């Protein structure tokens, strides 16, 4: 069920739709923010709080104080995300005029890198972009997380591996994030038809 008036779950998007969304991002900052959520399955609140010190050669560290579960997790950086982060480093330097410090936020507020971009600003940019390019209704900042879990599961990734990326406490909690595809529904109809 797609999200309606804040109720229900965020719509999931296909990899092609997510590519379209990233290509239409209103700024390099939003593109990188969306890429981090797309390739790690992270929550927007913990992603907005990332600092440059949380970025390592092959992993992002979401520290326990910023996660909903209060557990630190370290998802690997995919090759796609590595490219996005590298491009964003150059843009960050151009924007702020100095090399980043470990405590500086990746996604800085308009007041500077000591503060992170607000959730409201991130949400507004996403909603405007979705409306402009005509993606399905029911998308929200949680769309990236649900799309990550659904796409990974549909392509055969082990649920425990997906859970380690997303930080869900249990497989039961994770299972609520994975959409059932129309193909799966059709298979169910064939199965019950006998």
pLDDT at 6 over 60: no
Alpha-carbon distance 40 to 20, whole Å?
18
Topology of the domain comprising 15-193? hpI Integrase; Chain A (1.10.443)
pLDDT at 181 over 70: no
32-89: pLDDT as tens digits: 999 999 999 999 999 999 999 999 999 999 998 888 888 899 999 999 999 999 999 9
Q: What is the mean pLDDT of residues 95-117?
A: 95
CB 29 within 8 A of CB 21: no
pLDDT for the residue numbered 188: 63
Cβ within 8 Å of residue 33, ≥6 positions away: 47, 48, 106, 107, 117, 122
135-162: pLDDT as tens digits: 998 999 999 999 988 888 888 888 888 8
With residue 39 as reference, give the H or E element that holds it: helix 28-40
Cβ within 8 Å of residue 77, ≥6 positions away: 39, 58, 59, 60, 85
For the chain, the structural domain boundaries read 15-193
């Amino acid at each position: 069920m797609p999200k309606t008036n804040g109720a229900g779950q965020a719509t999931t998007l296909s990899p092609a739709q997510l590519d379209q969304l990233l290509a239409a991002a209103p700024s390099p900052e939003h593109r990188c923010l969306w890429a981090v959520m797309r390739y790690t399955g992270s929550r927007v609140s913990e992603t907005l709080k990332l600092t440059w010190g949380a970025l390592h050669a092959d992993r992002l560290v979401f520290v326990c104080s910023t996660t909903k579960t209060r557990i630190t997790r370290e998802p690997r950086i995919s090759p796609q995300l590595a490219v996005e982060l590298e491009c964003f480093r150059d843009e960050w330097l151009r924007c702020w005029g100095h090399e980043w410090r470990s405590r500086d936020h990746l996604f800085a507020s308009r007041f500077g890198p000591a503060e992170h971009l607000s959730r409201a600003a991130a949400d507004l940019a996403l909603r405007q972009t979705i409306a402009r390019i005509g993606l399905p209704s029911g998308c929200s900042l949680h769309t990236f997380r649900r799309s990550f879990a659904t796409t990974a599961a549909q392509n055969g990734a082990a649920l425990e591996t997906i859970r380690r990326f997303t930080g869900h406490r249990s497989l039961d909690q994770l299972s609520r994030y994975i959409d059932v595809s129309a193909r799966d529904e059709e298979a169910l109809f064939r199965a019950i038809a006998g």
